[in-house]
Amino acid sequence: MCETRNRFVGLEPKKRVEALEDIDRRDFILFCTTIAATLGLEASWVPKIAEAVERAARKPSVIWMHFAECTGDSEAFIRSSYPSTEELILDILSIDYHETLMAASGEAAEEALRLAMEENDGKYIAVCEGAIPMATPPGPNGKPGDYLRVGGKTGIELAREVCGRAAAVMCVGNCASFGGVQAQYPNPTGAVSISKATGVPTLNISGCPHNVVNSVATIINFLLLGSLPKADKLGRPLFAYGKRIHDTCPRRAHFDAGQFVEEFGDEGAKDQWCLYKVGCKGPQTYHNCSSVEYNDGTSWPIKGGHGCIGCSEPQFWDNMSPFYERLPNIKLPGVEATADKVGLTLVGAAATGAAAHATYTLLNRKKFDETLKDDEGEE
Amino acid sequence: MTAGTSALKGNEEVYLVVRTRSIFACAIHWIVFCSVIVLAVTGLYIGNPTFYFGKGEPYQAFAMADMRFYHFTAAAVLIASFLTRFYLAFTDSCNKDIKQFLPTPRNVINAFKLAFNYGLGGGKHLAYRYVNPLGGIGIFGMIVFITMLAGTGLLMYAQGGNPNSFWYSLCSSLTIMIGGIQNVRVIHHLSMYFLFFTVIIHIYMQIWKNIVFTESDISSIIGGYKIFPYRDIGHFADYYGIHLDDAPPSREEMDRASTPMKDAE
């Protein structure tokens, strides 16, 4: 598989040019197989997927919106090669509006958005990237949502307009799905997820950035069955977020064996042992990184020797940190301590209290004995 | 009064042997004790694995997997025995003790009195036939912490389950409500330490009570019987709605009970 990939990558420039005219059969079947595998379907589904893609006479119109974010998900999107970016943009999807990929700017861009929405009203797929700031900036002219304005409209207005008229809303990346880094404490801009800001139910392809294979598989699922894939309680499709990273981790054997990296750079790290003790959040993170990896199976954090930071989980920056510890710290008034410290203090207090009371009893034995005698006296 | 009576010779004091627990309640106490020990040891390893068995390839060692297996097995035993004990609290043959563990206003007031009495000495010594209110509140704490441990443990265990099942979706809803799996984990760890906190006090108090007040709670949890000086019975005659049906033992009964076994034969 790897060799095939490398061969393909070698031929890439030529192939990419050809792909603009028509995709060759080999690439097309490879694409369909990749998608079938990601969706967890067996080989007999490959022809059906091919049929569905071919049958889609009008390619699904996609309006890709950017809100408060770093464009990392678009960066991930344009690094796809199974399918390649050209295939995605021109052959598989009809991306009618994408602020960072389209040539138009200024008023022409605004016009493109208006046209795209009118042409496919109620039929397009809205892909959202980035969180929506809801807070009001300080100052006399501050209005709610003013932290983000595109073409004179606030992020909230834009999101409600575009998502409200879409057939389906797909959030890519953690920001759109759950608010991302900017929604973490103290969250000065009041950033929230798309579904919270608009009230529209969304399908969340979470991650920082999201994995393109998952977003494309979701769109193909939509083409194939006319509906979005089954999602978990957080709106993430189960085909990609139904298992934890830990469940299919290539280092899982070392976890079960009790072989752990104690610190980065030690012998265990060289032998690719489990990163559990240096704070890997794989056991609490739902994602399929461990099976599909990133950048066309090139690598992913744990393969690179760094623990998972749980980027596909809600509020991961707050909940999963510190990233190099197993557990989050407990914030008590004035103190921040680990659960072990709090617990050992408690246990120590109990033991000290018991010892103190035993000493007190020894010193005041008579008092306790008299208590017993009092009873007899009353009788 | 169920078991029998005895009188100490050369001393006018009369002791009664009182049945306080069924054998099931005693057995479950020690099953819970053993499973909590196993859970704590394996749990501390799972939380912070500090050693591993065997070196070399992973197939030569299975330390974490074994520890987790023992942890889950002990957890299943704990939950099963805990639920059985809950059932016994309503149906036990000799002591339907659910009221003794609940922090009712009456129990709380009596627990404060006892805490003062035990803590500083002085006041009137109160003997209780069953669990005393202070112990009852401590045990209520343990019940809360064990329930939290079992609940959070199940939430974490459900993570690896079938995502299409009802159980999985229920557990993930609860996890989201608590604020994510990391919070569940912190609660699991803290509950363990809180349980240890109450267990240390519990063990200390039982030993202390046996020495200072010669109350036989330790024999009560092992054998199900407790020995009381007859003068203490008056106090607990009407506690928790329990009445002493039996009349005080007659002189003959006491003589018979205090006669050595072989002589009687």
The predicted-structure confidence for A86-103, as pLDDT tens digits, reads as follows 777 777 778 889 988 888
Residue B132, CB-side half-sphere exposure with 13 Å CA sphere = 23
Judge whether residue A1 has pLDDT over 90: no
Contact (CB<8Å) A339/B190: yes
Residue B141 lies in a domain: yes
Q: Tell which residue, A199, A234, A239, A193, has the closest CA to residue A216.
A: A239
Q: Tell which residue, A239, A212, A228, has the closest CA to residue A92.
A: A212
What pLDDT is attached to residue A86?
A: 72
Do B131 and B233 lie in one domain? The reply is no
Kindly provide the residue ranges of all beta strands, DSSP E only, lying in A178-284, ordered along the sequence: 191-192, 203-205
Residue B45 lies in a domain: no
What pLDDT is attached to residue A41?
A: 82
Cα angle for residues A281, A284, A288 (degrees, 5° grid)? 90
Measured CA to CA, the distance from residue B236 to residue A119 in angstroms comes to 85
Superfamily of domain A245-328: Cytochrome-c3 hydrogenase, C-terminal domain (4.10.480.10)
Range of the domain at B247: 1-15+228-265
**pLDDT tens-digit map of A271-291:** 899 999 999 999 999 999 998
> Measured between CB atoms, does B213 come within 8 Å of chain A?
yes
Residue B144 lies in a domain: yes
Residue B2 lies in a domain: yes
What pLDDT is attached to residue B126?
A: 72
Residue B78 lies in a domain: no
What pLDDT is attached to residue B248?
A: 52
Measured CA to CA, the distance from residue A229 to residue A234 in angstroms comes to 13
Mean pLDDT of chain A: 85
Judge whether residue A186 has pLDDT over 70: yes
Residue A166, CB-side half-sphere exposure with 13 Å CA sphere = 28
List, in order, residues 6 or more apart from A32 with CB less than 8 Å away. Answer: A46, A47, A49, A50, A53
Domains of chain A by residue range? 2-240, 245-328, 340-378
CB distance B32 to B21 below 8 Å: no
What pLDDT is attached to residue A275?
A: 94
Mean pLDDT score, B65-69: 92
Judge whether residue A22 has pLDDT over 70: no
Cα-trace Rg, chain A = 28
Q: How many domains does chain B have?
A: 2
Q: Which of B15, B182, B205 to mutate to test the interface with A (most CBs of A within 10 A)?
A: B182
DSSP letter at A92 equals I
- Smallest Cβ–Cβ distance between A256 and the set B65, B180, B232 belongs to B65
**pLDDT tens-digit map of A104-154:** 888 888 998 999 999 889 889 999 999 999 999 988 888 889 999 988 899
The answer to whether the A2-240 and A245-328 domains have the same CATH topology is: no
Q: Which is more confidently placed, B94 or A313?
A: A313
pLDDT exceeding 90 applies to what percent of chain B? 43
> Measured between CB atoms, does B11 come within 8 Å of chain A?
no
What is the dihedral sign for C-alpha A352, B28, B127, B218?
Answer: negative
Do B206 and B164 lie in one domain? The reply is yes
Measured CA to CA, the distance from residue B224 to residue B247 in angstroms comes to 22
**pLDDT tens-digit map of B155-199:** 999 988 888 899 999 999 999 999 889 999 999 999 999 999 999
Superfamily of domain A2-240: NADH:ubiquinone oxidoreductase-like, 20kDa subunit (3.40.50.700)
Kindly provide the residue ranges of all beta strands, DSSP E only, lying in B41-153, ordered along the sequence: none
List the structure tokens of B57.
């390839």
Lowest mean pLDDT segment, chosen from A281-295, B117-131, B149-163, B232-246: B232-246
A344: chain B residues, CB-CB within 8 Å: 193
Measured CA to CA, the distance from residue A271 to residue A268 in angstroms comes to 5
Interface size A-B, in CB pairs within 8 Å, comes to 149
Measured CA to CA, the distance from residue B5 to residue B228 in angstroms comes to 10
What pLDDT is attached to residue A176?
A: 95
* Chain centroid, CA A232 distance in Å: 13
Residue B24 lies in a domain: no
**pLDDT tens-digit map of A213-254:** 898 888 888 877 878 899 999 999 999 999 999 999 999 999
A253: chain B residues, CB-CB within 8 Å: 58-59
Q: In b/e form, how buried is each residue of B105-144, taking b as 16+ CB within 10 angstroms?
A: eebeebbeebeebbeebeeebbbbbbbbbbbbbbbbbbbe
Indicate the pLDDT class of residue B28, thresholds 50, 70 and 90.
very high
Measured CA to CA, the distance from residue B11 to residue B216 in angstroms comes to 19
Residue B120, CB-side half-sphere exposure with 13 Å CA sphere = 6
> Measured between CB atoms, does B165 come within 8 Å of chain A?
no
Contact (CB<8Å) B124/A371: yes
B208: chain A residues, CB-CB within 8 Å: 357-358, 361
CB distance B228 to B18 below 8 Å: yes
